[in-house]
Structure 1
Amino acid sequence: METIYIYHTNDVHSHLEHWPRISRFLKQKKASHQQQGEDVFLFDIGDFLDRWHPLTEATKGQGNITLLNECEYTAVTIGNNEGVNLAYEDLDRLYDHAAFDVLVANLYKKNGLYPDWVKPYKIYHTKKGTRIGVIGLTAPFTILYELLGWKLTEPISELKKWLTIVKEESDIIVLLSHLGKNEDERIAVEFPEIDVILGAHTHHFFENGKRVGDTLLGAAGKYGYYVGEMTITLTDQKDVTQKEANLYDFNDLPIIQNEQGQILTFLNKGKEMLNQRITTLSEPLVHAPFKETNFSKLLSRTLREWCSADCAMINAGLLLGTLAGEVTNYDLLEVCPHPINPCVIELTGMELQTVLLQTKDEDLPHKQIKGLGFRGTVLGVFVYDGIDFAENTIFINDSKIEFEKNYTLALPDMFTFGHFFKEVLPQKQKRYFLPEFLRDLLKWKLQMPSSPYA
């Protein structure tokens, strides 16, 4: 009999406050298995980095790759935080020093070739000669990848293509899937020849895995709250006799010496690298999620100007702090950590009025938001530029709104992903501006010689 050990992480999102403990756990597990002559593999299923963290922002993710190297990961796939939250050049250089394989079967360059750092799959061999075929797939944010200069193909079609080859070369098939829980379960039904699916993207977790037919699904939640383990037992004839899954809770891992010191080192290294002065403010830019301030008005105006739109709206909860005095790149990251891009939508006056009236819902500012790139807590009030409300009438740039006229509205892209304004926005054409985040727009505005706050 042969037992193969797999450890997996996913959606860590640069929560490096958990990493010292996880790192030691993984290193100890790997060393223990190797001392016993056992085969062990370590996989990350994407979104290991997130640019809210100063070290990730300052190094454009390469600091995170160093951490994966130190743990001797076998392979990773990418998530959307690697794929669409980095400029083309930054993603293309991200894995320059990676000591592991990057498996993404559905990511191509515009010319239809894989980047030098990508493989669609890899066959790994155990000491007893068992062949483990590992394929990687990432979530199909096709339009955003195209805007950044990549070509992303439909993942299921890509899986069908490569499975034909991998089945011939493998005894066991493992899928690294940054596609989400529902897609993983669908794949398990449609492709029963896959032995193990390690999942991510929807931040789900399976305490002891989930069986769909003969396929075992594993997932380890988010932020490093869990580390996943799988064991696969085979006969000498390469027949799988047993598959088991388990999660290790971060809180159950032993605290390590100087843990807080290591966590602070990650933060301080990034902070130091981001300590370049942007401007010195003549008066504070004030943060207040439940009322309009000079800061939220500035962001809304900046968004409209950047996008050359007729009008703009933002939610005040996007700003997480006040700026005063000397402002650095680190300060901008602190007050606007979101990987949220500008977006423009063309609406008729009637459609625009429908959206704007919904923003006046008194319960909306207190709505707590998770996902969609949002890194704050509450939505906050809506703040507008080029839009005024007076006597039950909406004015766009001082003119009464015309229902048949077309207007361009600039807004944070989080409002276009299906959770808000469902009657109007989902079916409309969107123009996304990448790779700039909202904090990049603020930097652009504050560095203008004409800035009223400089």
Structure 2
Amino acid sequence: METLRILHTNDLHSHFEHFPKIRRYLRQVQETAKADQVLTFDAGDFMDRSHPLSDATEGQANIQLMNDFHYDAITIGNNEGISNPHAVLERLFDQADFPVLLANLREEDGSWPAWAKNYQILKTKKGTRIALVGLTAAYPLTYGPNHWQIKMLGETMDQVLPEIAGKYDCLILLTHVGLRMDQWLAKHYPEIDLIVGGHSHTLLEKGIKQGHTWITQTGKWGNYVGDISLEIGDDHRIVSIKPTTVAVAGLPSEDGDEAEIAGLYSRGQKMLQERLVARLPEKFHEDKLAAVDVSLEAIADFAGTDLAMLSTGLFLTPFKSGVINQFDLQHALPHPMHVVRSTLLGRDLWRLVMEVEKNRHFLEHYPLVGMSFRGKIFGQVYYKGIKYDPLTRNVYVNGQLLDPAKEYRIAVLDHYVLIPFFPTLAIVGENEFLFPQFLREVVAGYLSRKYPVKKESDLIEERTASFPS
């Protein structure tokens, strides 16, 4: 009889406040477990650029910290694959001490990424062959513009299973596809013994079993660590799988934890504060609507449109007057969202505005979670170039009554295409996802051009020139 312990994490999202406790727990089990062997996996979304250190280092700080967790393999989530520009993902794992398994992502030309394997056959100390396959959520609308080919799950499994046939005794998937798709995989590919999953932030405290397959997830943000006990017979077949989870809040703290956590934040904050963006005039001082207005200008300029829309809940803080830096913008707009240029016929633009206006009061205080949103409430929607008359229900575009048969282009966010409140965008919009810049990077670029940071000598010269001679 062979015994294994499988430790696993998912959807850590750069919640470094839990990393000291997670690291100690993983090391303790890895070093003292009575099992024949301990394996440690992560199921993706380990980084989130809403943390200043992840943003400042483009995820390299995450890799350094994860190396201390001694993972045997990981897969990636959408935060690594979509929220990062193509070039950043290409070099993200240069210093990683663990393999990245990802069977359903290719380079634009169809070749394998140099940093990933589609599967791995791991042989235990007692000779059991474990096939590990990694899968991430298949989002062609956003992977495509980021110069990747993403493969559907069924297509991928139908390709990889014949490749590994006869090479394994146990089949384990590392997936970042969500519980519903994990269940689909278990139903359609019953040869899977265990799925270590993520993406839907589902806490399965004792796992769930569908048919032959066990499915596990640990929720989100490092609140829990997965800990699975496996028994394997002398014939190398699995006898039992017993999943459980450990609440990180219940693990003991140690002196130095808080200092480490604060140090990671302040290190990223300092790096971002050194990167100056713009010198904003007094009108921006603590005025959130001024931030919204200039951001509407920014995304419209970036998308090459006259029209734009944004919601106030995106702005966690207003902008300030004077010199602002990348930390100020990262703090105000932490969301890993991208601008979308949507082309709509006038009648469909009218319907989009009606959807906004119908939901306006509901959304103003609606607590929104997910879809790249890092705020608390959706907030109020503001337009650029669009006016709505509630008495007549007429919509005016740049001062002219909307033409139902005319094509219009509006700058929105991928977030608005994905949430359910504005279905017109997803159903009839011709949507171009604009990569690689985030929303805050688009805003930063616009502000730096419109309100450039000038040298002190230039400012003195301007002030001197303004005095009468």
| Superposition TM-score, scaled by structure 1 size | 0.95
Matches within 5 A, 1:25-424: 25-33=25-33, 36=34, 38-275=36-273, 276-283=275-282, 285=284, 293-324=289-320, 325-360=322-357, 361-390=360-389, 392=392, 393-423=394-424
Instruction: Give the alignment's Cα RMSD to 1 decimal.
Output: 1.8
Residues 14-40 of structure 1, C-alpha deviations (whole Å, 9 max, x = no match): 11111111111111111113xx47211
Give the drift of 1:134. 0.3
Does structure 1 retain, via aligned residues, the 8 Å contact 2:5–2:35?
no
Give the drift of 1:326. 2.0
Does structure 2 retain, via aligned residues, the 8 Å contact 1:286–1:295?
no
Does structure 1 retain, via aligned residues, the 8 Å contact 2:279–2:451?
no
Instruction: Give the corresponding residue for 1:439.
Output: 440
Does structure 2 retain, via aligned residues, the 8 Å contact 1:311–1:408?
yes
Residues 35-70 of structure 1, C-alpha deviations (whole Å, 9 max, x = no match): x47211110000000100011001111110111111
Q: C-alpha separation between the residues in 2 aligned to 1:425 and 1:6? A: 40
Instruction: Give the corresponding residue for 2:15.
Output: 15
Give the drift of 1:404. 1.5
Does structure 2 retain, via aligned residues, the 8 Å contact 1:228–1:245?
yes
Residues 55-86 of structure 1, C-alpha deviations (whole Å, 9 max, x = no match): 10011111101111111111110000000111
User: What secondary structure does 1:447 align onto?
Assistant: helix
Q: C-alpha separation between the residues in 2 aligned to 1:168 and 1:112? A: 26
Residues 393-440 of structure 1, C-alpha deviations (whole Å, 9 max, x = no match): 321111111111111111111110151222553343211111111111
Q: C-alpha separation between the residues in 2 aligned to 1:294 and 1:439? A: 15
Q: C-alpha separation between the residues in 1 aligned to 2:276 and 2:247? A: 41
Q: C-alpha separation between the residues in 1 aligned to 2:216 and 2:264? A: 29
Residues 191-237 of structure 1, C-alpha deviations (whole Å, 9 max, x = no match): 11111011111111211110111211110110111100111101111
Does structure 2 retain, via aligned residues, the 8 Å contact 1:418–1:426?
no
Q: Across the two proteins, how many residue pairs are aligned to each other?
A: 449
User: What secondary structure does 1:187 align onto?
Assistant: helix
Does structure 2 retain, via aligned residues, the 8 Å contact 1:416–1:426?
no
Does structure 1 retain, via aligned residues, the 8 Å contact 2:77–2:136?
yes
Give the drift of 1:87. 1.0
Residues 339-384 of structure 1, C-alpha deviations (whole Å, 9 max, x = no match): 0100111112221112112222322211111111111111111111
User: What secondary structure does 2:427 align onto?
Assistant: coil
- Residues 1:162 and 1:116: Cα distance change in structure 2 (over 3 Å): same
Q: C-alpha separation between the residues in 2 aligned to 1:63 and 1:368? A: 31
Does structure 1 retain, via aligned residues, the 8 Å contact 2:133–2:172?
yes
Q: C-alpha separation between the residues in 2 aligned to 1:418 and 1:322? A: 24
Q: C-alpha separation between the residues in 1 aligned to 2:80 and 2:200? A: 15
251-260 or 390-399: bigger deviation? 390-399
Residue identity in the other structure for 2:236? K
- Residues 1:415 and 1:444: Cα distance change in structure 2 (over 3 Å): same
Give the drift of 1:303. 1.2
Instruction: Give the corresponding residue for 2:465.
Output: none
Does structure 1 retain, via aligned residues, the 8 Å contact 2:7–2:228?
yes
Instruction: Give the corresponding residue for 2:466.
Output: none
Q: C-alpha separation between the residues in 2 aligned to 1:66 and 1:53? A: 15
Give the drift of 1:446. 1.2
Q: C-alpha separation between the residues in 2 aligned to 1:227 and 1:220? A: 6
122-131 or 421-430: bigger deviation? 421-430
Compare the two structures and name the one with the higher helix fraction: 2
198-207 or 357-366: bigger deviation? 357-366
Q: C-alpha separation between the residues in 2 aligned to 1:353 and 1:452? A: 40
- Residues 1:114 and 1:252: Cα distance change in structure 2 (over 3 Å): same
Q: C-alpha separation between the residues in 2 aligned to 1:131 and 1:333? A: 45
Q: C-alpha separation between the residues in 1 aligned to 2:21 and 2:202? A: 21
253-262 or 391-400: bigger deviation? 391-400
Residue identity in the other structure for 1:299? S
Give the drift of 1:287. 5.8
Q: C-alpha separation between the residues in 2 aligned to 1:288 and 1:234? A: 63
Does structure 2 retain, via aligned residues, the 8 Å contact 1:323–1:331?
yes
Give the drift of 1:164. 2.1
Give the drift of 1:452. 12
- Residues 1:100 and 1:284: Cα distance change in structure 2 (over 3 Å): farther
Q: C-alpha separation between the residues in 2 aligned to 1:288 and 1:281? A: 12
Residue identity in the other structure for 1:320? L
User: What secondary structure does 1:251 align onto?
Assistant: helix
Does structure 1 retain, via aligned residues, the 8 Å contact 2:47–2:59?
yes
Residues 236-264 of structure 1, C-alpha deviations (whole Å, 9 max, x = no match): 11122111000001111111222111111
User: What secondary structure does 2:348 align onto?
Assistant: helix
Instruction: Give the corresponding residue for 1:4.
Output: 4
Q: C-alpha separation between the residues in 2 aligned to 1:410 and 1:277? A: 26
Runs of 4+ aligned structure 1 residues displaced above 6 Å come to: 451-454
Q: C-alpha separation between the residues in 2 aligned to 1:120 and 1:288? A: 50
